[in-house]
Amino acid sequence: MSGERVIKLKTPLIPQAIADLHVGDTVLLSGIIHTARDAAHKRMLEALETGAMLPFPLRGEIIYYAGPSPAPPGRPIGSIGPTTSYRMDRFAPRLIEAGLRGMIGKGERSLEVAEACQRFGAVYLAAAGGAAALLARSVTSAGVVAYEDLGTEAVRRLEIEDMPLIVALDIHGGDIYRQGRERYRR
């Protein structure tokens, strides 16, 4: 784990940018990302399986596992902290195979997700839990693009500037949670 590099990264993610990332790198992410949680993931997977349109093209995209609070006056979005990522693990490998190249959340991921990241070229970026108001400052615009009936779990398109994240899974087999436990045991 390097933990020493700070990398400015823009969306959409391209293969070379993903290949250059290593577990422990700090990323300042800018560009367009989308939010989606459990219910939206279920609908997106159903759309993939039936050949229906997805709310946004997956190729090169990043999904942020978050459901924001309402926007206060003068802000595009309210607090937007990461949700626990393992709840999306049953959906993530199929979405990665279909072109998703990044995920943002908190907590460990399954072996299946880690393997899909390696096989198809995707990364998992960890956002600091408990820093929802700070993460919201990175959002310059936000709007619902699909599944409005899901309320805070609707799919939103966010434009972000320098969102601070840590590479938690990379395409090289790095896993910050597993490697962290191994370092602690020594």
Give me the residue label for tokens 């400052």.
137
**Residue-level pLDDT at 186:** 58
Q: pTM here?
A: 0.94
Give me the residue label for tokens 């390696």.
118
Q: Where are the beta strands (DSSP E) in 52-107?
A: 62-64, 102-105
Give me the residue label for tokens 């956002």.
127
Instruction: Identify whether the C-beta of residue 37 lies closer than 8 Å to the C-beta of residue 65.
Output: yes
Tokens standing for 146? 């699909």
**What are the structural domains, with CATH classification, of the chain?**
6-185 (3.20.130.10)
Render pLDDT for 156-182 as a digit per residue (tens, 0 to 9): 999 999 999 999 999 999 999 987 666
CA 3 to each of CA 7, 113, 124, 149, 168: distance values in angstroms, whole numbers, following the listed order = 11, 22, 15, 40, 11
Q: In the chain, what is the greatest distance between 2 CA atoms, to the nearest angstrom?
A: 50
Render pLDDT for 48-72 as a digit per residue (tens, 0 to 9): 999 999 999 999 999 999 989 999 9
